[in-house]
Structure 1
Amino acid sequence: MRISAIVTTYERPEFLARCLASLEAQTRLPDEVIVADDGSGPAALAAAQAHVEACALPGQVVTQPDEGFRAAASRNNAVRAASGDWFFFADGDLLFLPDAIEQHLALSEEGRLWTTGFALPLSSEETAALDTTALRARGVSELWPAEDDPRHAVLREQHLRFERKLRLARVAPLEAHLRKLAMRSCNASVSRTAFERVNGFDEAYVGWGCEDDDLALRLLLAGEWCRSALLAARALHMHHPRESLVDVGGRQVSPNHRYHKRHRWRRYVAERGLRRS
């Protein structure tokens, strides 16, 4: 199986360099890395290209005009340039422990299921202390928090909730139940066959959030089932300011919230997706 790692980035080339270093150390190396740039300026884009050229893995940078947060379109651009038959989606602000891709592949049953992981957050102090050269020399594993760290409890609870929701959706695959099975595209995998079947990410999503939950829902509506990699595919999230959210009923949610909540009537193909014709 040929694996394409799709890595998003925007104006954070130093984070990208660290992410690439963690991918170089995987026990199951991706066959290529396609960096999905969301319109970085000339300096950051040149730095990203330099990091990809310095990476031990074959790769390229695919960019687009800076017209707001367009992760869906950016990832689709990268998939169009990819040659793999299985995609590992990664955000460029994550550090992956060495067996992350191997765990996704095993849980996916060699691509039969899509999988979703997440990441434990690093503090601003922990992030500021990171050194790319040291990461390449020593790896990411030593940064993983001890098992009594409270951050683990949050991840364990997310995994248990996902498993409960998956069991319910298997018994009663109603749209309302399928919607509860969220994907975290910062650390996820899906086969090319399944991704193309639903026409990839919906590029109508502009602004932070919901494009990955939308992909998950459409995959499930298409009969493409999933598995949690929340505990197995370990990753760390480098600290940075959060993207803008909006207030809905006192809750801070994505500006795409209403668009995602529309009823689908079992339709699962994105109108503005991977295939543009």
Structure 2
Amino acid sequence: MTVNEANNTLKILSVSVITTCYGRNRHLYNLLASLANGSVRPAEVIIVNDDAEPERLAEYDLNIIKIATTENGLSDNASFDIGRNRNLGAAKASYDALIFLDVDCIIAPTFIEQLTAKLQRHSDALLMGQPRYLTRPLKDDESIRLQQGTLPSDHLDELSVFNPYRDNFLEIDQFKTDNTIKQTQDYGAFWSLCFAIMRDQFDQIGGFDTSYVGYGAEDTDFAFMACKLNIDFYLTNDVIYHQQHSVYRPPLNHLESIIINANRFYEKWQHWPMAGWLAEFADMGIIDWHAEQSKPISVKRQPSSTEIENAYYPDAPYV
């Protein structure tokens, strides 16, 4: 039996997978390949995206629903907003079980099956998967094998690492068979890279607060609202592999939006998000901030081109 013939017999789960991207279609096609070759298939995959090639999307044995970012009424020059686009994808979803994946995810074969089962058992909760970070981009032949369903997850395990600054499951050999899940009160540990939630809870939270702009804090805000509403938060050992891309340490390329969003977050929650980055910006003399302050952050100066260049890490697996 060929891989395609085997895939045609896969069980379809009543779950909507939602992703959004622009200009990162190589990542998108790798994500779709992993979804098409998983142990089960989601009933639909909603892509909020403007530039994916329809003929490429047609190659995947998935029920793909492509939504233009302009459907949310934004002008072209402000059309890509990740929180707003996630909300749009959720509004279009046909199923109550929702799994959100960033476009730079590659799922482990059992990710959809196991995370959906856990969501059914904890239908009033917010669940987050376990990221592993690829230390380099996939090579062309690896992407081809992923498309064909012949790239083993063991290979991706060897190419990936944990983020040591996050809460991780360490039982690596149990990832694909164990149903490990643990509740946490640390809602600040939530990251929207890979999470699952039922529609009622998503709507209760109000989706993502679209007053945040660009990069930073919108996912922490989402989790804090879940905490305020007494929605339990669980970490699971269901693995996604984060596709490697260049980063800035600290993220000086997102300075403006980080400051806007940090001020917005503090105004709403009386708590500073992204404190590690804010401390680095303050140590560089770029912003006026300390952890105990209650006044809005002000920018003292713009980073120099040399500082931005020195912060660029093309080969780092995570920020």
Could you tell me the TM-score, scaled by structure 1's length?
0.74
Compared CA separation, residues 259 and 118, structure 1 to 2 (3 A): farther
- Return the alpha-carbon distance in structure 2 between the equivalents of residues 7 and 247 of structure 1: 23
Equivalent residue for 1:186, pick from 161, 170, 193: 193
Equivalent residue for 1:209, pick from 211, 216, 231: 216
The reply to whether residue 151 of structure 1 matches residue 157 of structure 2 is no
Equivalent residue for 1:245, pick from 220, 243, 251: 251
Equivalent residue for 2:238, pick from 233, 237, 245: 233
- Return the alpha-carbon distance in structure 1 between the equivalents of residues 131 and 153 of structure 2: 13
How well do the aligned residues superpose, as a CA RMSD in angstroms? Answer: 3.2
Equivalent residue for 1:84, pick from 81, 95, 99: 95
- Return the alpha-carbon distance in structure 1 between the equivalents of residues 14 and 144 of structure 2: 28
Compared CA separation, residues 92 and 128, structure 1 to 2 (3 A): same
Q: In structure 2, the residue corresponding to 1:29 is in which secondary structure? A: strand
State the 1:133 CA deviation.
2.6
Query: Which structure has the higher relative contact order (CA within 8 Å, separation 6+)?
Result: 1
Q: Which digits, 9 at most, give the CA deviation of each residue in 1:15-71, with x for residues without a partner?
A: 11110010112223211000122xx5xxxx142x33333221111111223417510
1:245 counterpart letter in structure 2: P
State the 1:165 CA deviation.
8.7
> 2:26 is matched with which residue?
14
Structure showing greater Rg? 2
Compared CA separation, residues 14 and 83, structure 1 to 2 (3 A): same
Identity of aligned residues (%): 23
State the 1:8 CA deviation.
1.9
- Return the alpha-carbon distance in structure 2 between the equivalents of residues 97 and 155 of structure 1: 22
> 1:173 is matched with which residue?
none
**Alpha carbons 2:215, 2:257 under 8 Å: kept:** no
Is 213-222 or 99-108 further displaced after alignment? 99-108
2:216 counterpart letter in structure 1: G
State the 1:111 CA deviation.
2.5
> 1:272 is matched with which residue?
none
- Return the alpha-carbon distance in structure 2 between the equivalents of residues 182 and 34 of structure 1: 26
Compared CA separation, residues 106 and 86, structure 1 to 2 (3 A): same
State the 1:217 CA deviation.
1.0
The reply to whether residue 195 of structure 1 matches residue 202 of structure 2 is yes
- Return the alpha-carbon distance in structure 2 between the equivalents of residues 153 and 123 of structure 1: 11
Structure 1: 5+ residue stretches without partners: 170-177, 266-277
- Return the alpha-carbon distance in structure 1 between the equivalents of residues 27 and 85 of structure 2: 18
Correspondence list, 1:156-175, <5 A: 157-158=167-168, 166=184, 169=185
User: What is the aligned residue count?
Assistant: 238
- Return the alpha-carbon distance in structure 2 between the equivalents of residues 159 and 181 of structure 1: 17
> 1:261 is matched with which residue?
266
State the 1:264 CA deviation.
4.2
> 2:59 is matched with which residue?
54
**Alpha carbons 1:69, 1:206 under 8 Å: kept:** no
State the 1:210 CA deviation.
1.5
**Alpha carbons 1:90, 1:186 under 8 Å: kept:** yes
Q: In structure 2, the residue corresponding to 1:223 is in which secondary structure? A: coil
Compared CA separation, residues 218 and 157, structure 1 to 2 (3 A): closer
1:205 counterpart letter in structure 2: Y
The reply to whether residue 98 of structure 1 matches residue 102 of structure 2 is no
**Alpha carbons 1:97, 1:140 under 8 Å: kept:** no
Is 110-119 or 183-192 further displaced after alignment? 110-119
> 1:135 is matched with which residue?
146
**Alpha carbons 2:191, 2:220 under 8 Å: kept:** yes
**Alpha carbons 2:135, 2:161 under 8 Å: kept:** no
